[in-house]
Amino acid sequence: KTKAFIFDLDGVIVDTAKYHFLAWQKLAESLGINFTHEHNEELKGVSRVRSLEIILGLGNVEATQEQKDEWLVQKNEDYLQYIDKMDDSEILPGVMKVLEFLKSNQQPIILGSASKNARPILEKVNILHYFDDIVDGNDVSNAKPDPEVFLVGANKANQPNENAIVFEDSVAGIQAANIAGMMSVGIGEASVLNEADVVFNNFTEITEEFLRELINK
């Protein structure tokens, strides 16, 4: 049988959350805003524009659109400096085994990410060719928890929503998958991702047997 396996990028395939954090922190610091790791949790899965709004809100900073646009460019330039140094050692543990298994079972592999930097990151870590289609922040206008990115993804794989399985590390992403009527697989802490259909700490916990069952369901 054929399903659609949809993967989020940041925090699922690669641990880029730490680079987003460093780049946002630099900006926050320059604006005199205290921005901690805890605050960073709230930015997971959230679009770039919305992330800036949240950070400015933390410091009660008001700014013109022009100024905000400048900050967004600045943050992304800093972020890209980290991305530029990435290689395949930054693919999270267990991910390759899962991608290999799905490929060898002829299953569609789709990326469903809010990031506008998804393609360069996949190229950097050398796995772009595993993906049959990429749906990212350049393709959709509604951010997670809106299901748009996953709906487009399942459609690209020619699969109905109920045949799609979504791997996500963010609460917003799990909610998006649930709203879309897809199976949601949380990657992270079960207490945080309690709305997911099933949660694993990381991909090393995902067995071939589990994947085989999903395919044959």
| C-beta of 20 vs 75, nearer to Mg ion | 20
SS3 135: strand
In whole angstroms, the minimum distance from the beta carbon of 43 to ligand BG6 comes to 5
d(CA 168, CA 6): 9
* Angle, vertex CA 155, rays to CA 154 and CA 160, nearest 5: 65
| C-beta of 51 vs 159, nearer to ligand BG6 | 51
175 lies in the binding site for ligand BG6 (CB under 6 A): no
Tokens 């600045």 belong to residue: 74
Show Cβ contacts of residue 181 under 8 Å, excluding neighbours closer than 6 positions: 161, 162
| C-beta of 170 vs 175, nearer to Mg ion | 170
Size of the site for ligand BG6 (CB under 6 A): 17
Is 8 tagged catalytic?
yes
Set 10, 132, 133, 146: catalytic member: 10
SS3 53: helix
Size of the site for Mg ion (CB under 5 A): 5
136 lies in the binding site for Mg ion (CB under 5 A): no
116 lies in the binding site for ligand BG6 (CB under 6 A): yes
| C-beta of 50 vs 215, nearer to ligand BG6 | 50
Tell which phi-psi region holds residue 210, choosing left (phi > 0), alpha (psi between -120 and 50) or beta.
alpha
d(CA 82, CA 23): 9
Q: Are 172 and 16 in contact (CB under 8 A)?
A: no
169 lies in the binding site for Mg ion (CB under 5 A): yes
Give catalytic residue positions. 8, 10
Binding site residues, Mg ion, CB under 5 A: 8, 10-11, 169-170
Binding site residues, ligand BG6, CB under 6 A: 9-10, 20, 43-48, 51, 76, 113-117, 137
